Chain A
Amino acid sequence: MAETKEKSLSDEKPKPRVRPIVRLGIFLISHSFHFSVVCCTAGVLALFLLPVLAKNTYISENALMPGSASPMLSNQHVSDGNRLVKDLTNPNSKSSETGIESHKIIAQYMLDLGAEVSFHKFHPQMNQFHPLHFFSSPDSGKIQENYSCSSYGINTVGIIRAPHGDGKEAIVLVTPYNALKSGFGEALSLGIAYSVFSLLTQVTWLAKDIIWLVADSQYGEYAAVAAWLREYQTPKFSSLSTPNAEMCPDVNNLFELKGHSISGSKFSNSFRRAGTMASALVLKVRDQNEQFEDTISIYAEASNGQMPNLDLINVVNYLAVHRQGLRVNVEKLWSLLNSSWLKSLGEIFESLAKVAKSLYPKWKFGIPATEYVEGTATLASSLYYQALGVPTGPHGAFRDYQVDAITLEISPKFSLDKVWRNDILLRGGRLIEGVIRSVNNLLEKFHQSFFLYLLTSPSKFVSVGVYMIAFALLIAPLPMVAASLYVDANSSSNCSKGDSSTPSAITDTDEHSIAIRSWRWLNSAKLVFIVHLWGAIVSLLPYFISQIPDCSPTTSFMIWVLLSILSLLTLNSVLASPLACAKATQEKEWALVKSVTISSVFIGLGLMSVINFATAEIGALLMVPMCLLAQPLKLDVRAGTLRSFCRMICNLVLGHIAFPPAAFFLLKGMLDGFGNANVGDFWMWVESLWAWNSATYLFIVEVTYIFSHG
């Protein structure tokens, strides 16, 4: 760039033609302001267009063949299931304090069917925060010595071996069950699972083993399933804690009794396995009733925005809608449903589509406004949960082991009298049977359909190729602006030099100084690095704070704030001289600093979009305007024009909004009202996030750091 400039200045020689691609680049860089405005608005607009662009789902894997066989689940099996429900809800069975009785009942029922049964005893293991384990595979947890006899859960596991199968693969059916305070819904979910299980012991078409896991949810559904999976996938052969646990009287009692009452070797207290898990279904029945229709909710988001294969959702959706007449629901952001601006936006899109259709009848892309609003609400929640990185149910534990899993939650319509209960058992059971049969048909693991997608309704999705456009548009201005800033910073100092010296004499020293100047960005890179470092320290602090015993969330949050300020001061003092130097020249060099910042943000966002798209998208929505608008306040104040004043206001507002605690309070305030917001809540939220090893957490660092520039 500089060279061409000099050449053009030095003489009027006819210029050699500049290559068109370079010319285009120069053009874009020189018009970076307009370009960035256009791109950003287009990006946001594309994001809002996604519900319109969503395609209908289709079953991609031919082997699944959902619904091609008529369901075999009969009233006989339903009455079997009913019997179990009755036995479980019987007050006699709940007399035991530990809830072991109901586990025994379930185990007895499984044994009567001829299944192999085992109990899996586990100690609830809290999610430990490992700052450096964000992307590493789940390991077998630490051995904890101080287990007490009182705190353990018991998973009951029943396995049906496929009669003709070779036992290489297995399908898992999970029903969370809390023996201590189980609602009727949980018992009903067990009833459904049992009726399916009793059917599956008799069928001949089974090619994969079936594992029914009754997960003890008294320490949380996720913890129980995760503990079982940990034992399944990464067992510890050397366990020091086992002898301790064996001493607990209750557990031994449980195993002994079973051994006595059941003849045969079907029962054992050792851990039983089947082959590689092909997929998993988590079945729940909600206690409170839905008002209009029997609905079934699908939860699919696993940790870090990972999704199960779309085919699994398709199968469930197809069978539920077309075979069992259930309404299928996907999580929505309910607050968005009633927003009027969204509705009007939908109407605009609808009328646009009408106009387009009148112009050319083959253009059919419009959807009704109500559908658009619903789609947007679903999309928003899909984005939110993927970005948050916290699994929406126990199925999340499976995804950590590359097993496709979803949670199905059935919410029945009426009060659960006898007829209705049978109906729900029958329909729910047939749905589960159909899904299991489809997965059983699979020869290969799920691979045909999408893994990267966003749902806008149970039967509509946006694939990665489409939603990436919105993201690309959003972050496209960043490198342009960075380049233009860099060129600006270089050329402005260049010009000042060029004025003083005669243009014809380009000496060696001058070239040398150019070389030095071209490395000047390293200075600002150092500054950026220091702030990044501070951000990393701030983000690692909670791990150490959480080690302090007996801390209320509020105090620990306070400690966090204090420590982070302290660390900033320390960093400042340790690296005082270079920082001070940088600060002195910052007013001139702010453009260079900004350019380095923007390019690092660009790289960060690009990488994040590969890891977790939703996080990157939301991050880009927040950070891109902030990056583009950021300007030192002093300069704005000095300029004193209306435009700079506006920009300053924007900066301040954006900076505050994007600061994570502020953003959290704003969101919470919007959702719940400002009254009950509390500083401690933020701590809880952060704690929950890092407990899930969320990538969001990394992101907060980034945002924090940007703020420090604002």
Chain B
Amino acid sequence: MVLLQRPHILLLLIDTHQFLQCWIAFGSANEEGQQQEEFSEELLVKPLPDHKLLAHFHFQSSAPPSTSNGCHHHLFPKAISQLVQKFRVKEMELSFTQGRWNYESWGGFDPISSSNAKPPGVELWAVFDVPQHHIDASWKNLTHTLSGLFCASINFLESTATYSTPEWSFPPASGNVRYGTLPCEAVCTENLTPWLKLLPCRDKAAIALLLDRPSLYRGFYHSQRLHLTSTESSSEGIDSGIILEQTLTVVLQPNSERAIEVHASEKHVQPSWSLSSIFGKQVSGRCVLAKSSSVYLLLDRGLVAELKFPNKENGKSAANGLTSENFWSNPSFELSVNPDRIFLEESSSHSKSLSILYMFQVEKYSESEPFDIGLMWKVPVAWLCQQTPLHASRFFMGSGNERGAIAISLKSTQFTEGFMSANSKDGSCELRVDVFQVVPWYVKVYFHSLRVFVDQQPRAVSDFIEKIHVSPSKDKMSPGVMEVVLKLPCRVNTAALTIEFDKGFLRIDEYPPDANQGFDIPSAIISFPNFHASMVFLEDDSLNRSPLLSKFQEKCPVMSYTEVLLVPLTTPDFSMPYNVITIKCTVFALYFGSLLNVLQRRVAEEERFLKAKAAKKTGRLPLLLSKLSAKLRGSGINQD
């Protein structure tokens, strides 16, 4: 059998190869047309303050609208385009995350963290372009399709008790949004492989080659995301087709073995790293199908401020002269490869220092001369990432199996204090905070018990809550949704929201197999609509702009997710049904037995029978026995 099959495989290989060549030829032939399918791959590396390293892979494929190009695709994954056409998805985001984003040390204000920091497990939201009454059906089909595509239990999101309809607080503000999360979904390679299948070169070439599974999953945070925008079916004039954006964000610890051995004095020196030491692989050549493939190294604002580049004042001029060595040969660190270009951030009002972006083009390198960027730190540097205006954390209050309370506490981070005061006009500045919280139905939240504490003082709810939208949960039908817009004074130190709940009971068949683990309450989304995380880099040619950098320029509101909570519910002893059945059967048997006995018995007849028995001559032994029993009975009663 094996021998027989072999020629087929060979043939197939040749076929695909030829097909690939055809593709490329077709792509180039179509180049004259204004729109074509494009693919670009980028990797951004950023040192983090706590000796870790952030790697952000960004793959973007775009397809022109099908009206101009038909249903045939060269680069764009067919599965996705079919999905878009079938369910008329306008926008969709699916993320698989393992681990937690550490907002305190990895920051929360930059575009990477505010769009790539996701709650643990699976998060899916989608905007549909279908009439209102069709949305739920589309959502159900979409979840099933995605579940099949990504080997995950996304299909659990189909039941109405698991997803919700945010009205206005969720960023893509639209009535057609559906939002659902699965906090306890385990994420592993089986989810990554289908995700990689969507890439034209898979993980066989260029940057995707770095995606070495063991080193990826050894990391502290791992989030793969799939963002889809389609203007295919929109009624508006502009028609840009489908844009598929696939990102993978990992936080890794460079050479952790060495970190143990270093002495206390050396502990503050950031570990040096290179791509090969982190991923165990090197980038060799480019993916031939990609329009561009490049690697970026980002030094964020705090770090740049610490490093004190010699000519920070005339930074703009230095950026123009790209050959200027000032930016990449710094006394505090050393790069192993000379960057091809250096971008400086456009000065913004948010902070004094600007971040620097080094760009390396992978195209230049080949298999014989692989690309491997490394960073050597010479002096200890310590800096802080820019944090969200308020640090949010959420926890349970109370104990016991009956009731409790959810508390969302917001603490101001000193980091943003400075520019908040700058933002204020005449001392009466306000900080707007949006809170979006979904609660499963078995946690029965009493929305009237919402209380607000500002600076450790209980305050009236109406003083600080500008807008609130509540849709109470229905048992086994829909989760409770709370959307709150808080207006806090800028000088606020701490704020807290508490809301009480009762724990519900589930039917025995509604418990999951691991019921004693507890039940998850999905993360709340805290967003700050007044603040926009964007990084605008000075570029020469806006035509040839990289998708990653243009993504950075988009003004998205600063967002953060709170922790997932685990609520222990009362769980029955699952051997109980058996006991109950046994006891019930016994009771029934006793009851029916005695009932039948009573129904059958005829008292008069029995007496007659007794009399007849007494009249009849009985044997000696029964007589003796009956006498004895009579005696016993008599004595028993006499003693009373």
Binding site for B on A (CB under 8 A): 1, 4-5, 8, 14, 16, 18, 23, 26-27, 29-30, 76, 112, 114, 137-138, 161, 163-169, 202, 204, 233-235, 237-239, 242, 263-266, 270, 273, 275-276, 400-402, 443-445, 447, 487-488, 491
* B456 near A238: Cβ-Cβ < 8 Å: yes
Is the Cβ of B399 less than 8 Å from the Cβ of A138? Answer: yes
The answer to whether B104 has its CB under 8 Å from any CB of chain A is yes
Contacts of A165 in B (CB 8 A): 99-100
Answer yes or no: B507 CB below 8 A from chain A CBs. no
Assess whether B393 is in contact with A273, with CB atoms less than 8 Å apart.
Answer: yes
Partner of B399, one of A137, A163, A242, A488: A137
B271, CB-defined interface residue at 8 Å: no
29 contacts between A and B (CB under 8 A): A8-B637, A14-B607, A14-B611, A30-B636, A76-B260, A138-B399, A163-B99, A163-B219, A163-B220, A165-B99, A165-B100, A166-B121, A167-B100, A167-B120, A167-B563, A167-B564, A168-B563, A234-B397, A237-B496, A237-B498, A238-B453, A264-B105, A265-B105, A266-B105, A273-B393, A402-B568, A445-B516, A445-B517, A488-B640
Contact A447 B398 (CB under 8 A): no
Is A237 touching B453 in the complex (CB atoms < 8 A)?
Answer: yes
B477 CB-CB contact with A under 8 Å: no
Residues of B within 8 A of A8 (CB): 637
B603 part of interface (Cβ distance < 8 Å) = yes
User: Across the interface, do A400 and B568 meet the contact criterion of CB distance under 8 Å?
Assistant: no
A168–B496 contact, CB under 8 A? no
The residue that B382 contacts in the complex, of A114, A137, A263, A491, with Cβ under 8 A, is: A263
Instruction: Mark out the residues of chain B between 134 and 178 whose CB falls within 8 Å of any chain A CB in the assembled complex.
Output: none
The residue from A238, A275, A402, A487 contacting B565, defined by CB atoms under 8 A apart: A275
Closest A residue to B121 using CB positions: A166
Residues from chain A with Cβ under 8 Å of B102 in the complex: 161
Q: Which residues of B contact A4 (CB under 8 A)?
A: 637
- Asked if B395 CB lies within 8 Å of chain A CBs, one says yes
CA distance A158 to B120 in the complex (A): 23
Is B520 positioned at the interface, with any CB of A under 8 Å from its CB?
yes
- Tell me whether A447 and B458 are in contact (CB under 8 A): no
Nearest CB in chain B to that of A232: its residue: B395
> DSSP majority for the A interface?
loop
B373-396 vs A: 1/0 string, CB under 8 Å? 000000000101001000001011
Indicate the member of A233, A401, A487 with the most B CB atoms within 10 Å: A233
Q: Who on chain B is nearest to A275 by CB? A: B566
Complex Cα–Cα for A164 and B260 (A): 19
Contact with A along B620-640 (1 / 0, CB 8 A): 000000000000010011011
Q: Chain B's nearest CB lies how many Å from the CB of A292?
A: 38
Q: Which of B100, B607, B611 contacts A166 (CB 8 A)?
A: B100
In the assembled complex, which residues on chain A have CB atoms less than 8 Å from the CB atom of B100?
A: 161, 165-167
Indicate which residue in A5, A242, A266, A276 contacts B566 across the interface (CB closer than 8 Å): A276
A402–B570 Cα distance when bound, in Å, is 12
- Assembled-state Cα–Cα distance A165/B611 (Å): 83
CB of B606 within 8 Å of the partner chain: yes
Q: With A and B bound together, what is the CA distance between A537 and B498 in angstroms?
A: 40
B496 nearest in chain A by CB position:
A237
Q: Which of B101-143 contact A (CB under 8 A)?
A: 102, 104-105, 120-121
When A238-B457, A265-B104, A265-B384 are in contact, do A5 and B564 touch as well, CB less than 8 Å? Answer: no
A167–B520 Cα distance when bound, in Å, is: 11
- Does residue B183 face the partner (Cβ distance < 8 Å to A)? yes
Known: A166-B564, A264-B49. 17 other contacts (CB 8 A): A14-B607, A14-B610, A14-B614, A23-B633, A112-B267, A165-B100, A167-B100, A168-B520, A168-B564, A204-B218, A237-B453, A238-B458, A265-B105, A273-B395, A275-B566, A444-B518, A487-B640
Please, how many angstroms separate the alpha-carbon atoms of A396 and B260 in the complex?
Answer: 37
Please name all residues of chain B whose beta carbon is closer than 8 Å to the beta carbon of A242 when the two chains form the complex.
456
Chain A residues positioned under 8 Å from B256 (CB to CB): 202
A26 touches B50 (CB 8 A): no
CA of A167 to CA of B482 in the docked complex: distance in angstroms? 23
Q: Would you give the shortest CB distance from B568 to chain A, in whole angstroms?
A: 6
B411 interface residue (CB < 8 Å to A): yes
- B465 at interface, CB cutoff 8 A: no
In the bound assembly, the distance between CA atoms of A424 and B302 in angstroms comes to: 45
Q: B105, A233: Cβ atoms under 8 Å?
A: no
State how many angstroms separate the Cβ of A266 from the closest Cβ of chain B.
7
A27 to B639, CA, bound (A): 10
Task: From B100, B120, B614, name the one whose CB has the most chain A CB atoms within 10 angstroms.
Answer: B100
B50: which of A114, A137, A234 is its contact (CB, 8 Å)? Answer: A114
B236 adjacent to chain A (CB < 8 Å): no
What 1/0 mask marks residues of chain B from 472 to 503 whose CB sits below 8 Å from any chain A CB?
Answer: 00000000000000000000001010100000
Name B's interface SS.
mixed
Q: Provide the bound-state CA to CA distance between A233 and B267, in Å.
A: 35
Query: What is the CA–CA distance of A502 and B565 in the complex, to the nearest angstrom?
Result: 80
Residues of A within 8 A of B496 (CB): 237
Chain B residues with CB under 8 A of A18: 633
A-chain residues with CB within 8 Å of residue B411 when the two chains form the complex? 270
State whether A233 and B398 are in contact (beta carbons under 8 Å apart), knowing that A16-B603, A30-B640, A491-B640 are contacts in the complex. yes
Q: Please, what's the 1-or-0 string for B229-266, where 1 marks a CB less than 8 Å from any CB in chain A?
A: 00000000000000000000000000010001000100
> Is B571 part of the contact surface with A, judged by Cβ < 8 Å?
yes
8 Å CB interface, B402-419 against A: 407, 409, 411
| Chain A residue, CB-CB nearest to B259 | A202
Give A14 to B49 CA distance when docked, in angstroms: 100
Bound complex: CA A27 to CA B567 (Å): 54
Contacting residues, chain A, for B49 (C-beta < 8 A): 264
Report B-chain residues with C-beta under 8 Å of the C-beta of A16.
Answer: 603, 606-607
- Listed from nearest, the 3 A-B pairs whose CB atoms lie closest are A444-B516, A237-B453, A166-B120
Q: Are B220 and A237 in contact (CB under 8 A)?
A: no
Interface residues of B in 28-56 (CB under 8 A from A): 49-50
| Residues of chain A with a CB closer than 8 A to B517's CB | 443-445
Whether the Cβ atoms of A275 and B563 lie closer than 8 Å is: yes
The answer for the CA separation of A491 and B638 in the assembled complex, in Å, is 11
Q: How far is the CB of A611 from chain B (nearest CB, A)?
A: 16
Is B400's beta carbon under 8 Å from chain A?
Answer: yes
The CA-CA distance from A234 to B571 in the complex, in Å, is 23
Do A276 and B568 touch (CB < 8 A)?
Answer: yes
B98 at the interface (CB under 8 A from A): yes
- Nearest CB on B from A404, distance (A): 12
Given contacts A14-B610, A237-B458, A402-B399, contact A168 B566 (CB under 8 A): yes
Contact yes or no, B571 A447, CB < 8 A: yes
Q: CA of A23 to CA of B563 in the docked complex: distance in angstroms?
A: 66
A266 to B571, CA, bound (A): 37
- Of the candidates A1, A163, A166, A266, the one having the most CB atoms from chain B within 10 angstroms of its own CB is A166
Closest to B563 in A: A167
What B residues does A445 contact at CB under 8 A? 516-518, 568
Cα distance A27–B638 in the bound complex, in angstroms: 11
Whole-angstrom distance between the Cβ of B276 and the nearest chain A Cβ? 21
State in angstroms the CA–CA spacing of A163 and B98 once bound together.
9
B514 at the interface (CB under 8 A from A): yes
The answer to whether A137 touches B400, judged by C-beta atoms less than 8 angstroms apart, is yes
A155, B625: Cα distance in complex, Å? 81
Q: Are A137 and B398 in contact (CB under 8 A)?
A: yes
Chain B residues near A265: list those with CB within 8 A.
104-105, 384, 387
CB neighbours (8 Å) of A234 from chain B are 397-399
**Chain B residues closer than 8 Å to A239, beta-carbon distance:** 456
Smallest CB-CB separation from B521: which chain A residue?
A: A168
Task: Please name the residue on chain A nearest to B495 by beta carbon.
Answer: A237
Chain B residues within an 8 Å CB radius of A26: 636-637
Task: Return chain A residues, CB-CB under 8 Å to B50.
Answer: 114, 264, 266
**A14-B610, A161-B100, A447-B571 known; A30 vs B565 contact (CB < 8 Å):** no
Query: Quick one: CB contact mask for B564-580 with A, threshold 8 Å, 1 for yes?
Result: 11111001000000000
Name the one of A164, A169, A204, A402 contacting B98, with C-beta atoms under 8 angstroms.
A164
Residue of A nearest to B384 (CB): A265
Distance A263 CA – B49 CA, assembled complex (angstroms): 10
Specify which of A1, A23, A163, A237 is in contact with B640 (CB 8 Å cutoff).
A1
